Amino acid sequence: MRVLVIGAAGSIGTVVCAGLVDRGHEVIGLDMAAEPEGFTGPWFTVDCADPDAVAAVFDRLESSGGLDAVVHLASIPHEASLPTILESHVHTTGALLDAMVEHQVSRIVFASSNHAVGRTPRADLVPADAPPRPDTSYGVGKVAAEAVLRLYADRYGIDAVATRIGSFLPQPETRRQLSTWLSHDDAVRMVEACLTTPDPGFAQIFGISANTRAWWDLAPGRALGYEPQDDAEAYAAQVEATPEAESDRVEAAHVGGPFVTEEFYRPALDRG
């Protein structure tokens, strides 16, 4: 497949780009940052919140063979004011979807977040169709972007998969992450499955590895062909070598972990 990866210079983007190339896909990178050393495909340094700039990229790619799919990994990865979050998560998604419709690109994989349901209390396994319960403006941005994806799936027949990613790290570092970890290799497996599964329509899945202590249901991802191979339990002894702290208990109360705490409370709008 010929795939445009948005946010290709980011922590997830660099891993996914390399993994997709290793699996035989042609990868085109787009980011606000300059092309990283070692990237082997075409590169565009563009703000994907700028619809004209995004349209120009799609025009150029159409003249050189077109695209099969878009992987949207770009966004502010932390809490911010609501307008900033909406531009980062929702405006970028809208700009990409408009360009996809215009250029007849029919599939997008979107990096959503577990924080779309972060205020869900920890109890039973959380299903992928759990109602939105964001824990921050960041989580609100992911919920809103998912709604835009659903709109374009219904209106234009776009295949759109929202991956509610857990804790993307080389290895888990906290007790919560023994449940929420997504390994680098499984991230690539997940994105490739979302790119290649037949006719997903609109789908939401949780982006975690095959963790023994998983908090989220992996069945919807497996239905799309995502078969995670790693398990955070391999690191459990190392993580649990230190006594359980109060922060561990707080993080275990809701699936969003620390994002539900007062540390992340802020007004929706910044005032001068």
Q: Which residue numbers are catalytic?
A: 138
Provide the 8-state DSSP code for 8.
T
Question: How many angstroms separate the CA atoms of 182 and 208, rounded?
Answer: 4
Beta strand pairing status for 43-45 and 69-72? unpaired
Instruction: Tell me how far the alpha carbon of residue 20 is from its chain's centroid.
Output: 16
Provide the 8-state DSSP code for 130.
P
CA distance to 11, 118, 179, per residue, from 175 (Å)? 22, 16, 7
H/E stretch holding 93 = helix 92-103
- Within 64-104, where are the H helices? 82-86, 92-103
